[in-house]
Structure 1
């Protein structure tokens, strides 16, 4: 230091021996505060960089070997860009060596470059292993903790074997939400993890399988620019990762048949990989997890339950009033909406949100009457996905006929009629059950969720508007009449109902 700059008389500075510190004794005994004018005229070595007017750099042959000196240089050059002056002193050093990174400078800088690469590799490795990406989850969820813990038990997270689980249920019942909650709570127990959300929506294009695998590998490797050439090379890379990493893989919304073979292949890779790995899929098809048993012995299914009355009222009330209980005068009507929703979280959220801010009781009453007669489109659209993805028209015909004629009837009665019409109910009815469109009660009667029934009636109404009366069923009936007289009355009865329904 040449000399301190002029300072107010009530304040004085003293340099402490520790090279990292400069303390200032003031009348208030506080540490130094950077003032508007520099404290020092000239900077030498490492003292008080930002408060100096001028920097004298003594650059020797070993200058670049010191990371400390290079850090100082960065800070000095930053100050130079504003107002400070730098005077370099080259001591037994050719300035061109510094400019062109030659001689001792080139060797030293190359060393630091290698060190930087090594440090970056360490950082990337730590991030890939220690960083768990938390997926977005809605606030104020009700009745979800029990489901998460039940799934934890079914997956046996603490055991060293390899397992898969299908979280299944009807559309809008909360499969994705439960899977997200489980992932956020337990993903840290694995070396690598990935939550593949909205697979059908995000895997469009000419090569959806390659797109899916590329996104999966990017997530597992925490690499932004990772590219795969084709499906086979992507699977090989995935196999390498799974061979030494305990992994949690979650595939959300996997109902499309085009992904079945890929899932089986991934199951094979997990089974041959590191012990303790787990795979979860969410699907509306209860049979999908069974397809994974070809490659993995421990595959289970968790069927998501409808919310109970208490949790249903809490969820509805939160979306309608932003509180867990409705105000007293809205309680009875809120309970009626909850009954209509039948424990389906999607319906509870949509209905509650549609009433938020509505204080007129007559509006609530008319809204309830309306949704009971005309189901809300955004609820029906989600439920109808399961119907639209049925395999063929015979399954769709069975579903719609059950909606019209056989709810509450014995399954044998319906099977006899459907067999007469060549609708193959022995295949069709189990598939409707697996797709969560139909249930068979303990007494063998056919039942379905009220909102699913409303969806079916809406489909029938739309068909009738466009002149489609499901001729498949009627043509089957006419062919059955000559050979099965004992079924004639049933078929004729159904035919007359059809004429009445669509006239």
Structure 2
């Protein structure tokens, strides 16, 4: 039987790494962790494979048919022709939309990889210059530089290597087991980290199940992206339900509404139906919601829940929903959830370091990474913004176009009295946005911000 008659297995993950040095233990631990989760992973030592043959059609097909490639960059990675050829194929496959890429910089500085300085100043010094043409060397260098444009993990930022492996494994498990998400849509919207939150939320919602009604809470500090997350999930999952309704503010359930009080489509829908209801004001909207979702498989999302009365009424509404319904409430008040005993809670944590830096860079410079001269200033800025998407967007937009000296002055003021200064920045940006329409309106409300006691969490 010819080799072409063998079917090539499809892998969840293609693991690209150099077999040279200290990364071997990390690689084997990562592979074991992925395997324990049932994630099929292509795992071959380049020092063994490279002696057999160059990158062949079978291996190229393995790359193309994988869902994701993990590229572990160490200082020994660019000394392997096998790895460098793999990287070119991986990037080409990613550009064609075939797979996603997760770079992991293991004891390596991503900026050195990008600029090819430090340990990467002469990355191919161990290769024979006579054996490979200069065009080949340049293509490999370009591939390494391109890789750094993709959000990845820097092992130097993790004190516990095991925690980093757990994070990678859990996120990849969600990626390969849940419904697909368009990464381009989230990226072009500046919604970094949204895809991993969506995957976790989808698993919690389990919209395909028709067995019971779930009351689910999305919880986190103001500005962390709870409403954005819920909105995307609502739009993506609506087709799984017979009825759907998104209430932008829980207080709308209790207010007597008119056509001028709300511009949201869901609120107008409630107002229209409320005109035909003759019950008292305090119960009108509740009854209208029940009439829309009652006895049907429904998706109901209610934002800005901030007191126990609202939560009790939402639970009452859930009791009217048909089997398989999902009632989602969004809140900053964790104590309410504990008091009421809500079992299904999804906590939206702050962005990871790499996600925060990219989001800030897009807001400040309209590119994925800050210019070299602004790197240290940008790191200070994302610390000031506490890794919160809303604050990162507004602070980045505020600093956009300023010189380094102006940045230094502004950041010093922000670091001096962070809570007060951030609020002043947002007020300034609010005015500037109204004048120039530079900032989307959905990020402007000041009352959605977290208070000064919010804790920074790197997840």
Give the TM-score taking structure 1 as reference length. Answer: 0.42
Give the TM-score taking structure 2 as reference length. Answer: 0.46
